[in-house]
Structure 1
Amino acid sequence: MRLHTASHRWLGQHVDTAGGPPAAEGALLLAVVALCALAAWLPAIALPAAYHGFADQRVWLGLPHAADVLSNLPFAAMGVWGLAWLRRLPAGRIGVAQRGLAGLFFLGLIATTFCSAVYHLAPDHIGLCIDRLGMSLAFAGLLGLAAADRINARAGAALAVVVAVAAPTAALIDGWAGNMTPWAVLQGGGLVLLAALALRRPQPRALGFSIVGVIAFYAVAKVLELADAPVFALTQEFISGHSAKHVAAAWAAWPVVRALQRAAWAGPVPAARVTMR
């Protein structure tokens, strides 16, 4: 009986850590190396002079740039909501790596709320770096979770570590050297990696969240960001594109939260059957 149960445990651990083929790990490594090379070799791009001049400059109850500051609250709401569902998830429903990376993602969303609020209180270059430092945790958790789901836990953990180091580095390079190229490569390359991972099937014990859904919400957020002033004018100064961008970007966490809900509602994980021959 003990041998039979132990074999089930060993198989579960084996699938969780090495479920993806070595070719997929190699392709991921090659992609990361290529992105690092692009970030280092592409020409430097300076931040536009008018970057910090957002459309909505209104003050509310003494709070400067109130809409851009308060529109960060959905990030915190999604982060807390996701952590609550993660706590309700039965042990063993998803892999240990997926659980940890999802937690990192939601904590990153909460950090983004505060870091982005600091930036929008008085938008400047230093504040922008602080904003991006908060986003770095969320990026690391999300990309790592996607890799763990679609390749294996080892790939997910490794990618999360790389992004957790590369993203703050890119933000600081922009702040100190005025070169936003590494950050642009990080964001664009991250979306390409997500799209590539979306083409693969979820591995055993994966969370199974919709990567396509995450990309769709994020794409809407980027469009709104680029249309800051036009959206502000179109809505008769009700909301700017940048404020709406915060809300849309926060909703990019919904596919992950929804997957956690489905996993929690599935009930307890059945214990391994112990049979006597």
Structure 2
Amino acid sequence: MRKRTLYAWGVAIVCFLVLMIVTPAIPQSQEYHDFADQLDFFGIPNTLNVVSNFPFLVIGVIGLVLCFYKDYFKFSLQGELWGWTCFFIGVAAVGVGSSYYHLDPDDARLVWDRLPMTIAFTSIVAIFIIERIDEQKGTVSIIPLLLAGVISILFFDDLRLYGVVQFVPCIAIPLMAILLPPMYTHSAYWLWAAGFYLLAKIEEAMDKVIYKWTHHVVSGHTLKHLCAAMVPVFLTLMLAKRTIETNRISLLKTWKVSWTEVNGNGCQVESREYAYTSVQSEDSHSR
């Protein structure tokens, strides 16, 4: 197991180094700060882009409190507590940091917008390692992953490292949620969270288009904040509802696959449904 872990880390480091060598540097574009909605209300600059961050602060504080309130989330492992604590701290900090940035968008303030997000991203990766791979390795990885996120922000003139920190979890987490057997029930909530985050990124990319479609009522970036805030909402609901999974089967194996089969004469229609489940062998029964 130790050799496989070292091998995996070695492959990851080599892939990262190759990526940094073969790809050009990606500077921070100043056009990024030019958001569609720049209207001011009640003396608050860029009002909707600022106040739409408030849900992050609310759900972050609620989640952080519940982490330590009478074992409300019923964590089974100590590493889970620290991982989720870091996550909710990051979420709450997004509400503050992103609001601060949108009051007067520039490069210096953008650091405080992105830093909390990297804390949340990297914490989630550590949580997945703890719950689905190995508790000790996941717990030990919390600090290195957080440091990697912080370092990615320091390379402000080159967004490649930040891109890796942000987008690799977006791919890895849904895949792990589907392929790796969960420790707890309600694992599908991870996919709901991933779906809302994907929608948020689409809205961010269509900031000005959505602002035009809505006749300057709401911009894509404002909607991005609201959709992204649904990620910690769904994860908090998952933590509140889940229980220990007695039969650890991955989502891929539990999903049902069904389709309708039309016979050759084109008249008779037959529906079939299949479910992927674990089946014990006869040898295991005989033992």
Give the TM-score normalised by structure 1: 0.78
Q: Does 1:33 align with 2:9?
A: no
Give the drift of 1:263.
4.1
Q: Quote the Cα distance in structure 1 between the aligned partners of 2:217 and 2:139.
A: 42
Q: Does 1:85 align with 2:66?
A: yes
Query: 2:165 aligns to what?
Result: 186
Contact 1:38–1:185 (8 Å) recurs in 2 = no
2:133 corresponds to which letter in structure 1?
Answer: I
2:221 corresponds to which letter in structure 1?
Answer: H
Query: 1:59 aligns to what?
Result: 40
Query: 1:257 aligns to what?
Result: 236
Unpaired runs of 5+ residues, structure 2, are 244-287
Q: CA RMSD in A?
A: 2.7
Give the drift of 1:168.
1.5
2:218 maps to which of 225, 239, 242:
239
Q: Quote the Cα distance in structure 2 between the aligned partners of 1:238 and 1:250.
A: 20
Q: Match of 1:77, SS?
A: helix
Query: 2:189 aligns to what?
Result: 210
1:201 corresponds to which letter in structure 2?
Answer: P
Unpaired runs of 5+ residues, structure 1, are 1-20, 265-277
Q: Quote the Cα distance in structure 1 between the aligned partners of 2:145 and 2:161.
A: 12
Q: Are residues 93 and 171 of structure 1, via their aligned partners in 2, closer, same or farther at CA, if it must alter by over 3 Å?
A: closer
Q: Match of 1:257, SS?
A: helix
1:147 maps to which of 129, 134, 150:
129
Q: Are residues 220 and 234 of structure 1, via their aligned partners in 2, closer, same or farther at CA, if it must alter by over 3 Å?
A: same
Higher helix proportion: 1
2:238 corresponds to which letter in structure 1?
Answer: A
Q: Quote the Cα distance in structure 1 between the aligned partners of 2:129 and 2:11.
A: 13
1:85 corresponds to which letter in structure 2?
Answer: L
Give the drift of 1:226.
0.1
Q: Match of 1:40, SS?
A: helix
Q: Deviations over 1:108-154 (max 9, x none)?
A: 11111111111111101111112111212212221211221211222
Identity %: 26
Query: 1:227 aligns to what?
Result: 206
Q: Are residues 90 and 111 of structure 1, via their aligned partners in 2, closer, same or farther at CA, if it must alter by over 3 Å?
A: closer
Q: Quote the Cα distance in structure 1 between the aligned partners of 2:205 and 2:73.
A: 42
Give the TM-score normalised by structure 2: 0.75
Contact 1:170–1:183 (8 Å) recurs in 2 = yes
Contact 1:52–1:124 (8 Å) recurs in 2 = yes
Contact 2:189–2:234 (8 Å) recurs in 1 = yes
Q: Match of 1:253, SS?
A: helix
Larger Rg: 2
2:56 maps to which of 69, 75, 95:
75
Query: 1:117 aligns to what?
Result: 99
Higher strand proportion: 2
Q: Deviations over 1:19-70 (max 9, x none)?
A: xx76885576356425642563332012223110000001111110111111
Q: Does 1:162 align with 2:141?
A: no
